[in-house]
Structure 1
Amino acid sequence: MTDASYIDTSKPHPARMYDWFLGGKDNYPVDEEMGRQLVAMDGRVLTMARNNRAFMQRATRWLAGEGVRQFLDIGTGIPTEPNLHQIAQGIAPEARVVYCDNDPIVLAHAEALLRSTPQGVTEYLQADFREPERILEEASRILDFDKPVALSLVALLHFISDEDGAYELVDRMMGVLPSGSHLMLSHGTGDFTPKTAEQAGDLYKSRGMTLALRSRAEVARFFEGYELVDPGVAIIDQWKPELGERVTDPADGPVPGYGAVARKP
């Protein structure tokens, strides 16, 4: 059995590549190499990474402002400041946050994720989104599933194909959460540069990884049955920009990703 704490530096990993996109230092040459290849295909990859973080911050700020006090963040990535719990607990010190990621390097930095307010709780578990029952079982020790929870899937689902059950996995997670819970997610798209998206998908496949860049309609499908928060499924930098940081350069064209939040009735 593979040691869960083993960090394979021979293959790129999305969490470490994301760290490189954001200018971090917790990555390896193999991650930087692939990151540079992707940036050469489309420089907006860097803008998209920064916008993912900015979207997470705005969406968390909105959710906490609406009274949500529990968050389950899957695909956490290597910690950056401010992280989800810092924003949520800055508004509601009693907020409870569970982080989850499948990359051992995130575990190595988990201490930064666990600096909770005295009134609240933050916890970290290492697991893969493809193990929803395990995640839910472990998260239930911290979160009360009788009360609303915000499920955060930021820059995660474009690494899970339809064949791997992306839609079904979201349904299984949200199906356990009570009425009043929310789904917040961001997702990369090839809507604006389909040829480049195809090339990027081929690059990921050659490295043994999945890249499923979905259209706006395909992203909207994740929210079927839920009540979308205005402005709905929007280009990521255009989702409630008044709530905080927004990273964009109009000269580069649309940011290649969507963001949305929806409430479970």
Structure 2
Amino acid sequence: MRLDKFLAESSIGRRKEVRIYIKEGKVKVNGQAVTEPAVEIEENSDVIEYLGKVVEYTGKVYYMFNKPAGCITAREDAVHKTVFDFFADLKMKGVFHVGRLDKDTEGLLLLTNDGAFEHKLMYPEKHVEKTYFFWALGSLSEEDKKQLEQGIYIGKDEMPTKPAKIQVENCGIYKDLKDETAAKELCKIDLNHYNQPVVSGYLTISEGRKHQVKRMLKAVGCYVVYLKRVSVGELLLDESLEKGQYRPLTEVEILNLLGQCE
């Protein structure tokens, strides 16, 4: 195994970071300083040290995380709680999030130390679909849905979005639907919107532009008040996970995700 790969899969840092550590002379193999990231090592018998401490090989890790609203998708932040704060009991230095979710967006977020896995899922040409459940102020006509499905302009100097899928679940007046809409999730709705139209549904996209779902729905006159990612490819959020909980992906789930990227 290459030395840089060993260190990346042992949560020392991302591949590009550990290459720098190696070139700076911070890594030893069997007591000898090594400055070539591509040097081959035997992970089960060679002794690898980083900054004088022996590195234990952990291998590749893949986590499914049910992100709660209110935390940001980042490693650390001076003001806000981050998704990594929920993994305090694990060694996560070399682990990173696959894509990101907005601060107020909930749901499925993947984390890994496998750069190739991240690249395959996030590479635009792979068209891996992500599905979001939303509640929004407004309504969706057949023409609105057609625009979303065919592609829509959401920003100046931007290309139209790629074709999407829209499935409306509920539509009507908030006061008539508030019991069905789990009103606690619609905390942004106040009495001024009591008689306003609301709509819920699922929007499936294959891109990852900033605030894309919110901007797409805004382009057809809807203001998102609740958003949750429920799937990536064919991987569904495990609803047995409470908000803020995580679990490792199964081998079958990993293989299925990679298969969808081929």
| TM-score class, shorter | under 0.3
Give the structure with higher Rg (CA).
Answer: 2
- Report the TM-score when normalising by structure 1: 0.25
Q: Which has the higher strand share?
A: 2
Q: Which has the higher helix share?
A: 1
- Report the TM-score when normalising by structure 2: 0.25
